A and B are shown apart, each in its own frame.
Chain A
Amino acid sequence: MAKTMPAVDVAIIGAGWTGSIIGKEQAAAGQRVVVLERGEPRWPSPDFQGPNVHDELKYTRRHALHQNTASETFTFRNHDGQTALPMRRWQFAYPGTHLGGAGNHWSGAYYRFDPTDFNMRSHYTERYGARIFDKDLTCQDWPLSYDELEPYFDRFDYLIGASGQAGNIKGQKQEGGNPFEPWRSRPYPNPPMKVPYAPALFGEAARRLGYHPYVQPSALCTRPYVNTEGLQMSACVYCGFCSNFGCEHYAKASPQVCVLPVALKMPNFELRTGAHVLRVELTQDKKRARGVTYVDGAGTEVFQPAEVVVLCAFGINNVRLLLLSGIGEPYDPQRDTGVVGRNYTHQTTSGVNLFFDESFNINPFMGAGAVAVTMDDFSADNFDHGPLGFVGGGYLQIQVVSGAPIGYHPVPKGSAAWGSAWKQAVKRYYNHSASITITGSAQPTRGSYLSLDPTYRDAWGLPLLRVTYDLPDNDIRMSAFLTERGDEIGRAMKGVQRTEPGPRKRPFTAAAYQSTHLTGGAAMGADPRTSVVNRYGQTWDVPNVFVTGAALFPQNSGYNPTGTVGATTYWIVEKIKSDYLKSPGPLVT
């Protein structure tokens, strides 16, 4: 018999970006809030202080801040005809755990989705005709527009102290900014980051070729900043230990830097760590959530009654919670029925490796997670897709994330993998290499989806989430096109002696890192037949259960997800505060 805790108004699953924001906002509105975090409490001080945090083996190779695959992982297969097998160790993505989740160990690359991401189906149909979409694609419009979300993007910008040069303020193009940027109501709160050598060389070549490079917006603070919660952030020092690490300097925006200290001062806000949620408990008619059941640190099952439950776990783990809880009809690709797990996508990444003349010292360790020069000429619908025959796009950039050498010691293809010849190659190329990163959109298909695995279970005996995914032909064509453009820029860059373009190929592999942007599976939509939640993140079937995060995306943009995750979170919680609390029930009928 599970232990039962005192009832609360709101139970939130996960203390990442979305759970921390929703929790703080609901508590400020007078609700009794408990945030259940499966991991441990980890703070910039003392947990992430230098020099100890500068430990590539611990944080990158041994996954100190990543979900532990020993107790919970995903299974993977390319298509329904295969048996899915467990990802026995992380290779394809790094889902987070511990306080802040992936919002703590992220890189800080900071974008908003493009307006056309929100009306994907109708925009491309209008401009190119319906035949631009391959038959297998299931991309669809969001039930809300960029314009509706803009105030919430703005709010998240100022919460995290975003740095960048605005390109478009209320429709007015801004000198020095990205000319393709969607309109924004205000400048970024902080100026753009410094530009290291390789991105500068990229920008110079791109500009020469007629493109429009700019400094990537970033969630790494560029000067001392007091955020909208009154919390102090510091300037990034470009130590090169962002991605997979916690930030020692209070420079990289994270829930523990930007939100949680304020929430924790409220007497009606409780953060409960070491609380691993198993499922949302429903009433017998399955129309209402009673609360959640979690396992505490000692392995005891605990029932937490709540009036409202908000799923704020890592992206697609929210989809697993829906499936384990029996909320919404699971998607069936054979019959094309159900919705939970439908429209799962990843991120279509590729790159071009560059090898320079020895007189070009790149210094790959002078960087930060989000330090880059980017161009959006081939993002979204910024170029003519008509002759190309695919939808979507991606940005091209050189970013200098890390020179930590276990993971970063590039040598040209065909070099020896070991021995004195390898040693010569690695010494020759370590400081004379870079790569163009291409981050592309990902379109959903009928056959790519999330479901519960019939065989493999987690440490608590529950089915793992099964990922069935392969790259659609549309995205293969897009990747080939974008990677060719990247190769042209690489060959035009000063000092580059050799380029190695690597377009994404089928089959999709879970045995190599792709991106941690795992999206969809709980799509937000206007039609309950093709979406799991309404435009306010409220599940169609259980109105007191809300879902947040990247699982809401009907398809994945070419832009990194966190900006849009933050904006949709504020959008959802404001609606809960303004309407739901006054009149609990369906917000869309």
Chain B
Amino acid sequence: MNEQQPVVPPASEDAGETPPAPGRRHVLKALALGVPGALAVSATPAMAQGSASPPQTPAAAPAPLRFFNAQEAALMDAIASRLIPADELGPGAKEAGVTFFLDGQLAGAWGAGDHLYRQGPFQAGTPEQGYQLSFTPAEMYRRGLAAFDDAVRKKEGKPYDQLAPDVQDAWLASMQKGELDFDPLPAEVFFQALLEGTMEGFFSDPLYGGNKDMVGWKLVGFPGAYASFSNDIERHGVIWRGTPVSIAQARGHHPAPGGEMPHKRGGGHG
């Protein structure tokens, strides 16, 4: 039942194309114009000195970040690289732009706790009562990254992003188990926030700056904002071989940087 011909999804002649990589000229234009969506597809945030990978951008270039400073971004990149590494299965969280994603989220309403009940008194509850800390996501990331950076530098004598991958993993595992002291922030709570944020950035629509080139969706085979499976849902066991579609692609009327004609992209939407 799995050996049948692949289902050709409707509109796949358009959806199946790989989006052209934006040219260098477009990137520079986008930077100058401050188009946030355009940055996510063309740059990585790790611009700090001493990053594990050589910086792609001259250090003098302004980091297009709203929440993280350059040091935090480098640390976040290094953490994301271990939580979801680039490997033989494809790009990882760093390549997916998870740091960009988190930067946007933490700079925005969610980071400020727009849906977080923040009235006191704050007190430790039972596990069944759920999250009871006063930290907003932004406050937690700021404090947690600083505490982690501090702990690593004290013990290792160098920043996290310069450690060997297995040593990096051991540090994350310690944080996950709550063995590190980030008082008053429980290290294991911060680890979960990092992991959840990384998953969100890896799997959410590229609209938010992560999941660049839909690498998260391609890893698992999720079609994205694809609109209809009426014709496929009863073809049991037949793998879907279309190319995922993001909201921006399906929309089809985003002007390209530089004022060219919009990309023609199908997503099953009229």
Contact = CB atoms under 8 A, between A and B. Distances in A.
- Residue in A88, A240, A419 with the greatest tally of chain B CB atoms within 10 Å: A88
User: Which of A55, A86, A240, A507 neighbours the largest number of chain B CB atoms within 10 Å of its CB?
Assistant: A86
Given A51-B251, A426-B220, A511-B130, A70 B199 contact: no
A423 interface: yes
Nearest to B267: A51
A143 interface: no
Interface stretch (B27-35, B49-57, B233-241): B233-241
A197 B237 contact: yes
Interface stretch (B18-26, B38-46, B78-86, B150-158): B78-86
Interface string A67-93: 011100100111000111111111110
Nearest to A409: B220
A451 to B, nearest CB: 16
B269 A69 contact: no
Nearest to A400: B233
A51 B245 contact: yes
A510 interface: yes
A515 interface: no
Contact of B172 (A196, A197, A418, A510): A418
B207 interface: yes
A422 B121 CA distance: 38
B18 to A, nearest CB: 18
Given A51-B267, A70-B118, A238-B230, A405 B222 contact: yes
Give the interface size class of chain B. Answer: 35 or more
A424 B88 CA distance: 10
A261 interface: no
Contact of A87 (B130, B172, B227): B130
A423 B129 contact: no
Interface string A212-250: 000000000000000000000001111110000000000
A54 interface: yes
Interface in B228-268: 228-230, 232-234, 236-240, 245, 247, 250-251, 267
A240 B132 CA distance: 33
A417 B192 CA distance: 10
A365 interface: yes
A239 B226 contact: yes
A61 interface: yes
Interface stretch (A272-280, A341-349, A355-363, A570-578): A355-363
Contacts of A404: 203, 222
B233 A367 contact: yes
B125 interface: yes
Contact of A419 (B169, B224, B226): B169
B128 A427 contact: no
Interface residues of A, number: 71
A360 B85 contact: no
Contact of B220 (A56, A61, A405, A420): A405
Contact of B127 (A57, A89, A235, A511): A511
A54 B250 CA distance: 10
A236 B231 CA distance: 12
Given A69-B116, A423-B89, A403 B251 contact: no
A238 B125 CA distance: 41
Interface string B114-154: 11111101010111111110000000000000000000000
Nearest to A506: B128
Contacts of B245: 51
Contacts of B115: 62-63, 68-70, 89-90
A52 interface: yes
Max chain A Cβ within 10 angstroms of own Cβ: one of B125, B230, B233:
B233
A31 interface: no
B221 interface: yes
Q: Which of A92, A406, A418: most chain B Cβ within 10 A?
A: A418
A48 to B, nearest CB: 13
A143 B85 CA distance: 60
Nearest to B172: A418
A405 B195 contact: no
A191 to B, nearest CB: 14
B169 A73 contact: no
A210 to B, nearest CB: 23
A325 interface: no
B83 A62 contact: no
A431 B220 contact: yes
Contacts of B68: none
A508 interface: yes
Contacts of A52: 247, 251
A57 B128 contact: no
A84 B130 CA distance: 11
Interface in B198-212: 198-200, 203-205, 207-208
A354 B267 CA distance: 31
A526 interface: no
Contacts of A195: 233-234
A511 B89 contact: no
Contact of A406 (B172, B176, B204): B204
Contact of A56 (B119, B123, B204, B227): B204
Given A237-B230, A419-B85, A511-B129, A457 B247 contact: no
B243 to A, nearest CB: 14
A406 B199 contact: yes
Contacts of B199: 406, 409
A361 B85 CA distance: 26
Contacts of A426: 219-220
Given A89-B116, A363-B240, A419-B83, A508 B229 contact: no
A406 B195 CA distance: 11
B123 A85 contact: yes
A119 interface: no
Interface of B: 1-2, 82-85, 87, 89, 92, 110, 113-119, 121, 123, 125-132, 169, 172, 176, 195, 198-200, 203-205, 207-208, 216-217, 219-230, 232-234, 236-240, 245, 247, 250-251, 267, 269
23 contacts: A50-B267, A50-B269, A51-B225, A62-B115, A69-B116, A70-B113, A77-B129, A83-B125, A84-B129, A87-B129, A88-B130, A238-B233, A239-B229, A361-B237, A363-B232, A363-B238, A365-B229, A423-B85, A456-B117, A457-B119, A509-B127, A509-B130, A511-B127
Task: Name the 3 nearest CB pairs between A and B, nearest first.
Answer: A51-B250, A430-B220, A511-B130
Interface of A: 50-52, 54-57, 61-63, 68-70, 73, 76-78, 82-92, 194-197, 200, 235-240, 359-361, 363, 365-367, 371, 403-406, 409, 417-420, 422-424, 426-427, 430-431, 455-457, 507-511
Given A50-B250, A196-B233, A417-B176, 14 more contacts: A51-B269, A70-B113, A70-B114, A76-B130, A360-B2, A365-B223, A366-B232, A403-B222, A404-B203, A417-B195, A419-B169, A427-B220, A509-B130, A511-B127
